[in-house]
A and B are shown apart, each in its own frame.
Chain A
């Protein structure tokens, strides 16, 4: 089985190279049969990668430690669940997984467009196969999962303890789904540039793909935050780590793209900008993978480092940048706007402002992430750029974005009048000022938190007003009751109202972030029977009483578990456990935190240290002194709730009925027949 896996990789490489050539040549000379060969190559590559991925999983499940990759990320004691997810546990497997997901999405594009978008498909297929070819070359040449060791060890090294967590099994695949799905609009953009068809069709055709990519990337980032929160034991969820930063860069440009395409669709403006944004988003996805895999910048995510791969990625990235710049320059005449900006007080201007801020945030994060390398390269002096820098630079940008989140959806297209502004913004501004004043009067003095809550209230008020107005109008016109009118209104324009729901999620998430300003922390070394008291920002008094310390041998580790009784306002509310885990195979120690969740705050318990842990294990130290760190993290649950709301909103928008090609005449019917590469079966028919 595993032998077949390696052969499948080699065949996939050859097929993708051949298919890419066929697709590009077919597009160039207008030969439908060659294009079809390219498209079928994608399906073949997907099948081959399924075989190869299956072989890797089989090697994990079969404990085949003669393979370097399996020996490095598994051992006999590892559960079946983590053996299956071993496919993406390390760099080698995750590159195969990347290629597998890309091949899956590419195959879906081919199947989706058998009768549609034929004029785009030659170059779309060629581009997708080109990216697949790159990954397969990297896998085969520098990161072969079937590389054999000189000897077969009796057991593997096991999986990094921090990766043995539910969220870590779901976080990387979701992130990869986002990165790879952005390849589809990228491929359509390249195809539009190569074919010169630079109207809005490539955008409307890929709208769902863009939303899907954004959906996965957003969720992937949130899952990563959840993993960091529960697994790394710091009490935080975002640390501006280089690898975290790299994942958020394409998210920022992708979000900007989702907004700016609306201007092109409505007003025929920003054509070049949209092309640049989607090209940049894909390039940043590759950059994120490069940064994660290279280990060039010190990161807590440096689970895998390979400089050879880093240089190959850098070469590919450089090639893509040159190619993208060349294509845009070549087609610059066809990328001119059909319309002009008529007023700075218009929805177009608000969206342009939003794009400016997204790109500004992206640049600031990229700059801060790369600055240590840049400063060291130029001056020889390594200057560290940590979380306080990113907070100080990005929080003001985030607040401005929050303000635009409220203004953008309600301001008129082309030119807003004073009456339009008054009518749409008076109530939200009133709500915002009232909330700000109440918070101020009640003693909230943290400026950024105060602004976040006030602006959040402003955005929520605009969205509620929009829903209310729409529902009321529909109820009046259609004679429906309010609930039915609301449902029908959302159904009729899922993209718009789904977008509003995403905005609600973002606001809730922002408020969750702002809760950090009120966190409370206590640390103390205590013996069983002693307590730590902490008062939460919401006024609750917590008493945590250390009960006992137990030692448990598990399959691949030994656990030291501290039990802590929790009382809130004098009432016992449960028991929290916090652990130190000692992994035998990797000789590593990891912490497992205890979290008591409520709708408004988390009580977060970390077992920071144990006096004489060996005594606990051998039974000579039954009452060990233990150091606990206790945090009360206000509004953290709101971050996860915000993420959930954003996911729901995106799914509603994804369900949009407005995709072209599904209604009305097929798009290609409007193109001259001679300009379309034809499929052979269609010609024969």
Chain B
């Protein structure tokens, strides 16, 4: 771990130089119209290369990331946006997974609390439930096996 720290310390935090950062962030949000299923940043098609060049030119001319993305989508269509919008229908893409996770977590926590409240009282000395007996037997077998 320590060598890793030493080695990484000299690293720039991201690959592209700052002058290219706007273009790179715009390209990273777009799918390629020329490679089915691929992002624009990795599409090997020559047309995609031209499109990336155009985006770099726009960035060099001072356009912002959002303006560049809007420019590309105006020409090629909204379906090439790789990240759903955080409004309208696209909002559902973002909110459903965390809501489901939180909902499931809350349900589990509630159920766990209820189970703990309804847990059977501890057995008195001398008594042992069949479930505990089975567990005890299993544990003893395991202990014996481990030796």
Contacts and interface: CB of A to CB of B under 8 A. Distances in A.
Q: Bound pair: A and B?
A: yes
B112 A385 contact: no
B9 A367 contact: no
Contact of B145 (A388, A520, A521, A658): A658
B80 interface: yes
Nearest to B46: A609
Interface string B69-99: 0000000001111111100011011101110
A211 to B, nearest CB: 18
Contacts of B101: 356-357, 360, 363-364, 397
Interface string B1-41: 11011111111111110000000000011010001111100
Contacts of B94: 389
A357 B100 CA distance: 11
B44 interface: yes
A520 B12 contact: yes
B7 A342 contact: no
A440 B83 CA distance: 30
Nearest to A344: B112
Contact of A600 (B7, B79, B118): B7
A340 B135 contact: no
B11 A518 contact: yes
Of A299, A386, A393, which is in contact with the most chain B CB atoms at under 10 Å from its CB?
Answer: A386
B131 A338 contact: yes
Interface string A342-355: 11100001001000
A241 B4 contact: no
A504 to B, nearest CB: 13
Contacts of A438: 1-2, 5
B103 to A, nearest CB: 10
Nearest to A364: B97
B1 A539 contact: no
Given A339-B131, A383-B93, A519 B15 contact: yes
A539 B135 CA distance: 57
Contacts of A557: none
A201 B70 CA distance: 59
Main secondary structure of the interface of B (DSSP, over half): helix
A160 to B, nearest CB: 14
B60 to A, nearest CB: 15
Contact of A299 (B37, B108, B116, B120): B37
B5 A444 contact: yes
Contacts, number: 186
Interface stretch (A231-239, A559-567, A614-622): A231-239
Contact of A539 (B7, B46, B93): B7
Contacts of A234: 38, 42, 44
Contact of B44 (A389, A538, A591): A591
Nearest to A638: B4
A233 B44 contact: yes
B105 interface: yes
Contact of B84 (A298, A364, A389, A664): A389
A340 B119 contact: yes
Contacts of A537: 7-8, 10-12
A300 interface: yes
Nearest to A339: B131
Interface string A300-315: 1110000000000000
Nearest to A431: B1
A341 interface: yes
Interface string A380-419: 0111111111000100010000000000000000000000
B104 A539 contact: no
B137 to A, nearest CB: 11
Nearest to A444: B8
Nearest to B1: A435
Contacts of B112: 341, 344, 349, 352
B1 A457 contact: yes
B13 A517 contact: yes
Given A363-B97, A368-B93, A608-B44, A302 B9 contact: no
A572 interface: no
Contacts of A535: 12
Interface in B97-146: 97-98, 100-101, 104-105, 108-109, 112, 115-116, 118-120, 131, 134-135, 141-142, 145-146
Interface of B: 1-2, 4-16, 28-29, 31, 35-39, 42, 44, 46, 49, 78-85, 89-90, 92-94, 96-98, 100-101, 104-105, 108-109, 112, 115-116, 118-120, 131, 134-135, 141-142, 145-147
7 contacts: A267-B135, A302-B36, A341-B116, A368-B93, A375-B93, A383-B79, A663-B145
The 7 closest A-B pairs by CB, nearest first: A386-B82, A537-B11, A234-B42, A442-B9, A364-B97, A539-B10, A360-B101
Given A338-B131, A538-B11, 11 more contacts: A239-B39, A340-B119, A371-B92, A375-B89, A384-B31, A386-B31, A387-B39, A442-B9, A492-B146, A520-B12, A631-B15
